[in-house]
Amino acid sequence: MFVTPAYAQAADAGGAAMQFLPLVLIFVIMYFLLIRPQQKRVKQHRAMVDAVRRGDQVVTQGGIVGKVVKVRDDNEVEVEIAEGVKVRVIKATLANVISKTEPVAE
């Protein structure tokens, strides 16, 4: 006399796959709207940081503007923020390169 909802829904076998379709669509949309652009930005920042050389005008993430005096190693640069004031900065904290110097043609 009483039919439970579980028995009534058991007849639809294709419904289980259709329940996961919205989750898959949400993941695909999130990938193209959030994850992919972030990966692209990280790749561009890494290329910019790797290309920094002596004489470039840079801005750090802390907002300090200075001129690269020396590239110490793969991880550090020495930035002159005022005349005679030099600061060692981790390359990854460089936010922007304002003006690039042209490579010396030899």
Asked if the model's pLDDT at residue 105 lies above 90, the reply is: no
Measured distance CA(79)–CA(59) in Å, rounded: 10
75 is a domain residue: yes
Q: Measure the CA–CA gap between 10 and 31, rounded to whole angstroms.
A: 34
Contact by Cβ (8 Å): 68, 55: yes
Question: What pLDDT does residue 16 have?
Answer: 72
pLDDT in tens, 22-65: 899 999 999 999 999 999 999 999 999 999 999 999 999 999 99
Print the domain residue range for 62: 51-99
Q: Residue 12 pLDDT more than 80? A: no
- In this structure, are 42 and 55 located in the same domain? no
Domain count along the chain? 2
Q: Are residues 63 and 76 in the same domain?
A: yes
Task: Please provide the average confidence, as pLDDT, over all residues in the chain.
Answer: 86
Distance CA 73, CA 19 (A): 53
Q: What's residue 92's pLDDT?
A: 92
Tell me the percentage of the chain whose pLDDT exceeds 90: 64
pLDDT of 15: 73
Looking at the structure, do residues 21 and 61 belong to the same domain, yes or no? no
Which is more confidently placed, 59 or 11?
59
